[in-house]
Chain A
Amino acid sequence: MNGFLILFYFLAALAVISATGVISLRHPVHCALSLVVTLIALAGLYVTLQADFLGIVQVLTYAGAILVLFIFIIMLLNLQDDELKERGYGAAAKALLAAVSLGLFLSLGYLVTRPHFPISALPEDFGSIHSLGKALFTSYVIPFELAGILLTVALIGAVLLAKRRLELK
């Protein structure tokens, strides 16, 4: 059990540090790469929670597909250096934001640690492809179809908005 704890702290620290990178690094490509590290750390955490298949999906689709889309767009826009300078907040506002975030985190953390959750043993195939697939295609078939429609809408929408040719009259 102790090994578990060490693994958890390692992955959690990795996730938090790389998440800090996402919100503080200047260049979007660096942010995206930090985000990949966060996503992989989270995938590891899913595995410790007996969500093996979800961990794999996380790496494949999130880190693999969604982030590649991000990086692709960053390359496409080819931002110049002066474009990366952000006319953001002053130091005082940043400190205020940090304080508010800390307060928000502390109160959230306080609330979620109120009830105590012990971790119990689970059936052998919990979170396996077999059990998930069975649930997804039987009892969850309506949300599954809805997700398909959602992706269709996203596809059509993205093409409509981003296609280059303006068919002006």
Chain B
Amino acid sequence: MRLDVLQLWQHAWPSLTLLIAAMVSLLTSVFPSRHRARITAVLAATAFLLSAQGFFHQWGLGEAKGFEFLVVDPLSNYLGALIALIGFITSIAAYPYILSQAEAIPEFFSLLLFAAFGMTTMVMTTNLLAFVLGLEIMSLSLYVLVGLRRYDPRSGEAAFKYFLLGSVATAFLLFGISFFYGSTGTLDLSRIPELLPNPEMATLFKLGALLILLGFAFKVGAVPFHFWAPDVYDGAPMPVTGFMATGVKVAAFGALIRVVEAFAPRHELPLQRWIVMLSFATMIVGNLVALRQRHLKRILAYSSIAHAGYLLLGMATLVGTGEIRAAALSPILFYLLVYSLLTLGVFSVLTILSSGGQELNDLKDLDGLSEKRPVLSAVLSVFFISLAGVPPTAGFLAKYYLFSQAIQVGLYPLAIAGILASAVSLYYYLGPIVRMYFHSHEKTWQAPGVMASLRLLLALMVAGVFYLGLFPASTLEISRRTVPIRALEAPLASPSAKLP
């Protein structure tokens, strides 16, 4: 079978753009120049924007195209556009930060592009081998990005811990994939339905599915596989933490949707019970432990764990329907969008505050910020309040859709736990706001002025928080029409499709 390169380019160019930009940005080191950081930053931002535009354009076409290892469908385009936008915002917000470092490393932007390329690969495939390769491209880039502050022992320690636990998780994932292969004879998830269920293989299949799920649970930071996240988030450079908290979650949950789509019709798998247990533990532990944290990045790490719990709740809803239904899928996709927007908003502001060469870390560092930087404080407060899920903002609506779907499927205990947990989260999200507005100013915090482009971006993001909160209809419609390839083809291919 020959690969039609032109056709591949035609369908996968938004993702390949990231790869090409990554390679080109490496070549800039051939010409040592004072402007190298600026050139690579502009290149990266342009590539991310172009790629996001490409994914979005393809989404509009609404068609699906499957190659042997790549799938281009509305789901991959939605997630790809989201990943590219995350990269865009990160690269803009990180630029002053990178310049302020004791050792400015322009390769930051190349690795960012590589990581984003790996993420898009993860969501653009139903083949587990290609998925693992994408996952590793992403992970290896992130290990290096985490350790990029080489003179800072905390950064190295975080990279070490992330690498160690990440490779153990990859080994478990691969072991699970080998059992999956052993019980089905294929590495392609999309071929499961056509393979006859061999009762003798059921135990092996179950074991494989369990190990694969464990690998995912680690990557999204679900309890009890979350212990790496606070340390790694804490030690990583600020913009990298933001990129990890959002990009990795989008890519891993995107790939998990594909896995769940393939596994859900197999009723011998207690998939829903597994995911419900994970979600339960993750929501409770994430939110409760966050209450006790004193470091800003650790609070955000546990917050991201808690949000992984809410998303797993969405996944449990999705599995409960037995097949992929747009009604259960769209709250997850909407939540991923809103969560990424809010978390990136928080991290963009924190990155600005850390761009004075000093990494913002302790909660105390925020004391009295509202006097010195009133606009930034207000912006940060908006994002925090929205993350807590307070009504007129996007965070509330996203949670509302997620929980109401769960209730409709009958997952009452889980939905109630989620609602209570997010009520608890209000406390630790309000903590930083109280510090900014009601504590007296002690430390002379030095942070430079904000670039015009970053100001514009932050303004747009704040507008987005309210826009998605007040007028969600059109965005929800997009997420509702975003379905994986099989669902798109189902009315034609599936014999069980109802005739009018």
Complex contact flag A–B (Cβ < 8 Å): yes
Interface of B is mostly: helix
Is A153 an interface residue, CB under 8 A from the partner?
yes
State which residues 135-169 of A face B: CB under 8 Å. 138-143, 146-147, 149-150, 153-154, 156-157, 160-161, 166-169
Is A87 an interface residue, CB under 8 A from the partner?
no
A147 to B130, CA, bound (A): 9
Is A112 an interface residue, CB under 8 A from the partner?
yes
Q: Which residue of B lies closest to A167 (CB)?
A: B103
State which residues 167-193 of B face A: CB under 8 Å. 179, 183
Give the residue among A108, A115, A153 with the most B Cβ atoms within 10 A. A153
> Across the interface, do B204 and A114 meet the contact criterion of CB distance under 8 Å?
yes
> Across the interface, do A166 and B103 meet the contact criterion of CB distance under 8 Å?
yes
Q: Which residue of A lies closest to B147 (CB)?
A: A161
Contact of A114 with B200 at beta-carbon distance under 8 Å, contacts A142-B130, A160-B107, A169-B102 already known: yes
| Binary contact track A82-97/B, C-beta < 8 Å → 1, others 0 | 0000000000000000
Contact of A146 with B102 at beta-carbon distance under 8 Å, contacts A114-B200, A153-B140 already known: no
What residues on B are CB-neighbors of A146 within 8 Å? 121, 130, 133-134, 137
Please tell me the size bucket of the interface on A.
20 to 34
State which residues 44-80 of A face B: CB under 8 Å. none
Is A111 an interface residue, CB under 8 A from the partner?
yes
* Tally of contacts, chain A with chain B, CB under 8 A: 87
The smallest C-beta distance from A153 to any residue of chain B, in angstroms, reads: 5
Interface of A is mostly: helix
The smallest C-beta distance from A46 to any residue of chain B, in angstroms, reads: 14
> Across the interface, do B141 and A153 meet the contact criterion of CB distance under 8 Å?
yes
B residues contacting the other copy or chain, number (CB 8 A): 43
> Across the interface, do B129 and A160 meet the contact criterion of CB distance under 8 Å?
no
Q: Which residue of B lies closest to A158 (CB)?
A: B144
| Binary contact track B47-74/A, C-beta < 8 Å → 1, others 0 | 0000000000000000000011110000
Segment with Cβ contacts to A, from B109-117, B274-282, B368-376, B479-487: B109-117
A142 to B107, CA, bound (A): 26
What residues on B are CB-neighbors of A157 within 8 Å? 111, 140-141, 143-144
> Across the interface, do B129 and A143 meet the contact criterion of CB distance under 8 Å?
yes
What residues on A are CB-neighbors of B179 within 8 Å? 112
The smallest C-beta distance from B187 to any residue of chain A, in angstroms, reads: 10
The smallest C-beta distance from B68 to any residue of chain A, in angstroms, reads: 6
| Binary contact track B71-110/A, C-beta < 8 Å → 1, others 0 | 0000000000000000000000000000000111101001
A-B contact pairs, 10 of them (CB 8 A): A112-B179, A114-B204, A138-B3, A141-B3, A142-B130, A150-B137, A153-B114, A153-B141, A168-B102, A169-B102
Q: A138-B3, A142-B3, A166-B151 are in contact. List 8 more A-B contacts (CB 8 A).
A: A111-B207, A112-B204, A114-B200, A115-B200, A146-B130, A153-B137, A156-B26, A157-B141
Q: Which residues of B contact A (CB under 8 A)?
A: 1-3, 19, 26, 67-70, 102-105, 107, 110-111, 114, 117, 121, 127, 129-130, 133-134, 136-137, 140-141, 143-144, 147-148, 150-151, 159, 179, 183, 198, 200-201, 203-204, 207
